[in-house]
Amino acid sequence: MALRSRSGTPRAELSTLSESELLVRAREHPVPRHVAIIMDGNGRWATRRGLPRVAGHREGVKAARAAVRAGTEIGLDYLTLYAFSTENWSRPEDEVSMLMSLLEEAIYRELPDLMARNVRLRVIGRPGGVPLPIRRGIDRVVEATRDNTGLTLVMAFNYGGRDELLEAVRALAVRVQAGELAPAAISEADVSAALYTRDIPDPDLLIRTSGEMRVSNFLLWQIAYTELWITPTLWPDFGARDLYRALVDFQGRTRRFGGV
């Protein structure tokens, strides 16, 4: 028997529904609080068109804007976008610097729209290592949107899951050394509270575009029981319709958390 989503639509048929039909379906059931996305495939998108990789990153920014709009439309509480990893520094210098300025420029340009949509920007990742003017530019937008109460857009920028865990281990070790915490008393809650995401619920759904079957050092602790949705669509081609489709698919799943 074909797998069915809770609304009764066979999963294969979801691919034939339009954006507005999918939005209606997604609204029939509770939406996940937190969706995280590994936005992958910008380079391939550009290469397939004979364009420089940076052209793919520019298109990727447009897809990110569309995802934020769709996220506000459907009422997510948190949308986390993986924008730049601690490993992405190993790319050619010109690609890295273009990516940095593209991201800063995009965030600043989006400020009026973020305000209009009541979106609050948060950044997770290592602040050190990011060029100062870029950090300041992003911080200004974080500051300007801090009292917004709608969607929280979490940008993972210079983010690495292992790096985040290392920082947490160091912070806990300092507390142990100071005699504040006994090693045997360290709990999962203590570890969670030492991460960048301390006040953010774990993602319910993790989306990865471009078909790669890996997590690439993203939210390693937080995705322990996150549902996965991987699509071959390259990030610049990902739109609101794809997000709603992932949500409807998610709504048809049973999460078990190790139980029966």
Size of the site for ligand IPE (CB under 6 A): 19
39 binds ligand IPE (CB under 6 A): yes
* 217 tagged catalytic: no
Of 40, 204, 242, 249, which is the active-site residue? 40
81 binds Mg ion (CB under 5 A): no
* 94 tagged catalytic: no
99 binds ligand IPE (CB under 6 A): yes
Of 42, 88, 163, 249, which is the active-site residue? 88
Question: Which residue of 14, 23, 39, 40 would you call a contact of Mg ion, by CB under 5 A?
Answer: 40
The Cα–Cα gap between 228 and 99 comes to: 27
Residues whose CB is less than 8 angstroms from the CB of residue 19 and which lie 6 or more positions away in sequence, other chains included: 239, 240, 241, 244
Residue number, 5 or 226, with CB nearest to ligand IPE: 226
The residue with tokens 């391939």 is 44
The Cα–Cα gap between 108 and 114 comes to: 10
Question: Which residue of 44, 58, 65, 126 would you call a contact of ligand IPE, by CB under 6 A?
Answer: 44
> Smallest Cα–Cα separation from 74: which of 13, 30, 107, 14?
30
| Kind and range of the H or E run holding 112 | helix 93-116
Burial string for 210-242 (b: 16+ CB within 10 Å, else e) reads: beeeebebbbebbbeebbebbbebbbbbbbbbb
Least separation in angstroms between CB 230 and ligand IPE: 12
200 binds ligand IPE (CB under 6 A): no
85 binds ligand IPE (CB under 6 A): yes
Catalytic residue annotation: 40, 88
